A = this chain, B = another copy of it.
Amino acid sequence: MANELQDPRHSSAGAWAKRLYFASRAVMESVLRPYDIGSTQWYVLYQLTNDGPTMQRDLGRMLQVERATLSGIVSALVRKGLVEQTPDPADQRQRMLRITASGLKLWDELPDLALIEALAFDGVDAAELATVVKVLQAATQRLNNHLSKEIVDGDPLQP
């Protein structure tokens, strides 16, 4: 992101969004390290445990992650024997993901990561939190809009 410019940048909301993201990931990964899984792998296990077998395609949408990315994450879990990946009989293009017995066993040992979110925003005023969500959401949308327009119009940042 290169957001640590002296000027407006190192104290900007964007820079803090990045820092929070990395701090949050660092906590999750330090908690998960002993179990040898990463933060997104954790979510896949969460999903498969709580909602049962899921199509890889649908999981990608829930996670908002590209197919290529999820492909790597799933293959890591399959390699570790925690998840089973089988072709869907109805549509051979799709893959069905299912947690294995070994995956379920690991899941039961895992600490509750939801506490991290609680820890981060503990005691913050609800109205302020709502403002944060509103502003970040709006900013994200503006950037994403810009991104789509760019494809059509060329690069508006370079007049």
- Chain A residues with CB under 8 Å of chain B are 1-5, 7-9, 11-14, 16-21, 23-28, 30-31, 39-40, 42-43, 46, 62-64, 111-117, 119-122, 124, 128-129, 131-140, 142-144, 146-147, 150, 155, 157-158
* Chain A interface SS verdict (over half): helix
Q: Is the CB of B143 within 8 A of A24?
A: yes
Q: Is the CB of A12 within 8 A of B143?
A: no
Q: Give me 23 A-to-B residue pairs in the complex whose CB atoms sit less than 8 angstroms apart, sorted by A's number.
A: A2-B40, A2-B63, A3-B117, A4-B62, A5-B114, A13-B121, A13-B133, A14-B20, A17-B24, A19-B136, A23-B139, A26-B143, A27-B146, A30-B150, A119-B146, A120-B140, A120-B142, A121-B135, A121-B139, A131-B131, A131-B132, A132-B132, A132-B135
Q: Is the CB of B113 within 8 A of A17?
A: no
Residue of A119, A128, A132, A140 with highest tally of chain B CB at under 10 A: A132
Assuming the contacts A117-B9, A147-B30, asked whether A1 and B25 have C-beta atoms less than 8 A apart, the reply is yes
Complex copy number for this chain: 2
Residue among B25, B27, B131, B147 making CB contact with A26, cutoff 8 Å: B147
Q: Is the CB of A20 within 8 A of B115?
A: no
Q: Is the CB of B43 within 8 A of A24?
A: no
User: Which residue of chain B lies nearest to A64 when distances are taken between CB atoms in the complex?
Assistant: B4
Residue among B16, B23, B26, B135 making CB contact with A128, cutoff 8 Å: B135
- Minimum distance in angstroms from A88 CB to a CB of chain B: 23
Q: Is the CB of B132 within 8 A of A43?
A: no
